[in-house]
Each structure stands twice: as C-alpha cells, then as structure tokens.
Amino acid sequence: MGRVVVTATTTHRSAMRTIADSLTGRGHEVELITGLEPPTGRSLVDQHRRLCRLLSESDVPTVVVGDVAFQGTLPLSYGAPGPKPAALILIGTEPFSLSSIDTAPAGFGLPPDRTAAGRERNRRAYEYVRDALGGVQEEFVEAMRSVGVTHDPLPFVLDAPILAADRFLQLSVEELSYRRSDTPSHVRFVGTLPSPHCEDDVVISDGGFDTVQRALRHAKPLVLTGRSADQLEGNTRVAATGAALYLATDKPSDDDIEQAVRIVLADPTYRGNARRLAAEYARLDALGSIADAVSSCLRD
C-alpha cells in the first residue's frame, strides 16, 4: 500500500472521486484535489503549485492519478523543478483524441483512413488544427515555462497530457476511438466505471460521453443527435460501431426520433453490435486496472 494523490477537474470530480474511494478501499492513503476548468495558463500554474505543495508534504513515494483535463500534472513530466511522484497515471475521462496518422483530428467527424491519400488528408487536417490553436499553444507553453519547464519543444497542447503520462488509462473501449496503428504502448483502454443499469430498449441522446458508454455497457443501442464539434465526432465514432443510428441534426423533429427508434428496434444488427460492445466492456475492469497500475508503480 502507498500514498496516492488523485486530481480532478470540476466536470470529472464524480468519476475521480469514485476512483479515489476505490483506492482507499484497497488500503491506499488517498488525497483528492480539484481544479477549475476550462483549462487556462493561469489554472495550469495554480493547479501545479497546489500539487507540488501536496507532494512536498511527505517523503513517502506517491503516485499521482490524474484526470486528463487537470493540466497541473503536466509540468511534472516535462522538466519542472520540485518534488516528483513515483509515477503519473492519467485517466482518460474524455474521448481519446491523441493525434494519429490514421485519423483526422477529433471534431472533424471523419472516419479513419490508413491509405496514403487518407494519411495525407489527416496530416493536413492536423496542420490546420495546430495553426487554428496557435494562440492556445502559446499560452500553454508560456504557462509551462513559468513553472520552470525546460523540455523543448513541448508537444501540441491537446496531445501533451497523453504523452506526459507514465501510464494512460482510457475510460472506454478501443473501438470507440477507432483502432490506430500508432497508439503508444503506455495507453490502455480499461472500460468504464460502474454505472446504474439502463432500462430503455433504445437510448436517445445528444451524444454525451458518459451516456453513450452507459448505454453500450448495458447492451442498449442508441439514436444520437447533435452537430457541435464534440457531438459530431463522438456520434460519428459510435455510429461507426454499428450500435447507433446518428441523426446529424441539432433539431430533430418528434417524427424523426420516432422513425429512428423504429428502425433501430426493427434491425437486429444495432442490438447485436451493442451486445458485442457490452461483452468488451464486461471483459474489462476499470477500477481494478487503475488499482493494479498504482500498485505496480509503487512496487517499482
């Protein structure tokens, strides 16, 4: 057993508290700290300083188990001075979005493409995104330098958390993120946290990550709506599994919904694919995988 610091943003506090409680129940000394979002340079600095104060309070080897959206953990991996944890384990509480030669950037709603032409499409799309987020990248770099980070060059801000972790445990199954040929070896897909049973025959949703996973975990097909960047990406991924029918509109009519539900109920392939994914979720144990990772890092 050992000391664990769990970090959480406000949005993912419930999930990270579930993880903290599980680790406490397994005999670890656990402390939970939270931080506001959306992440900014200022919040990164404040989060990092709070984390360092907590790490410096004990000489006991400490593993940090962090919400991926809590950016205050990142300077620990990129050369900032100060106390270091025994390991940094980050939890994918949001859809997996690491840059890949096989996929377009998250938010484009494009299927993966491993052909030469597709990989060129993907490369150009990532260039576009990096240019569009140039200001965000500059703010991230400035914040990291302000706390003494020396690593140069720093990775793209959206990739940095996944690349920073000693182990990255994504709360989903791999199929919801497309299977990528270049996923790093320290990334594992560990399923979801426990959730109440889903009673609906068909789940109707605008595509919230937790709602979708709860439905699939319980073998329920979906009818999905919405076209914001996050919805377009997430709903396209779920539809690609064959377990959902995606109405690519922000304002579906009642008739649209009713017809979609009838289609999903009448076509057994939707429920069959939902059951296939449910079997994959059932094979995985997210809380057990996190606990095993913590114990392994403390032994090392």
- Is the confidence at residue 1, as pLDDT, over 80? no
CATH code of 247's domain: 3.40.50.2000
**pLDDT at residue 40 in the model:** 67
Q: Which of 121-125, 230-234, 248-252 reaches the highest mean pLDDT? A: 121-125
**pLDDT at residue 235 in the model:** 94
Whether 20 and 93 map to the same domain: the answer is yes
Over residues 12-68, the pLDDT tens digits come to 999 999 999 999 999 999 999 997 765 667 899 999 999 999 999 999 999 999 999
H, E, C per residue of 53-110: HHHHCCCCCEEEEEECCCHHHHHHHCCCCCCCCCEEEEEECCCCCCCCCCCCCCCCCC
The domain tally of the chain equals 2
Whether 95 and 239 map to the same domain: the answer is no
Residue 208 lies in a domain: yes
Whether 81 and 163 map to the same domain: the answer is yes
Whether 141 and 174 map to the same domain: the answer is yes
Whether 160 and 12 map to the same domain: the answer is yes
- Per the prediction, the chain carries an average pLDDT of 94
For 249-256, what is the mean pLDDT? 93
Whether 232 and 288 map to the same domain: the answer is no
Whether 169 and 225 map to the same domain: the answer is no
The closest alpha carbon to 275, from 286, 283, 263, 285, belongs to 283
Residue 198 lies in a domain: no
Residue 133 lies in a domain: yes
DSSP class of residue 242 equals T
Predicted confidence band of residue 158 (pLDDT cuts 50, 70, 90): very high
Whether 111 and 242 map to the same domain: the answer is no
Whether 259 and 271 map to the same domain: the answer is yes
Residue 261 lies in a domain: yes
The strand pairing partners of 163, in sequence order, are none
Answer yes or no: are the C-beta atoms of 66 and 89 closer than 8 Å.
yes
Q: What is the domain extent for residue 102?
A: 3-191+284-299
Over residues 206-226, the pLDDT tens digits come to 988 999 999 999 999 999 999
Whether 237 and 177 map to the same domain: the answer is no
For 226-234, what is the mean pLDDT? 88
**pLDDT at residue 39 in the model:** 62
Residue 196 lies in a domain: no
Whether 210 and 186 map to the same domain: the answer is no
Residue 231 lies in a domain: yes
Predicted confidence band of residue 299 (pLDDT cuts 50, 70, 90): confident
Whether 183 and 48 map to the same domain: the answer is yes
Predicted confidence band of residue 138 (pLDDT cuts 50, 70, 90): very high
Residue 197 lies in a domain: no
The strand pairing partners of 67, in sequence order, are 91
**pLDDT at residue 300 in the model:** 76
CA pseudo-torsion sign 148, 4, 8, 210: positive
Q: What percent of the chain has pLDDT over 90?
A: 90
Read off the pTM.
0.95
**pLDDT at residue 42 in the model:** 84
CATH code of 168's domain: 3.40.50
Residue 15 lies in a domain: yes
Over residues 83-120, the pLDDT tens digits come to 999 999 999 999 999 999 999 999 999 999 999 999 99
Q: What percent of the chain has pLDDT over 70?
A: 98
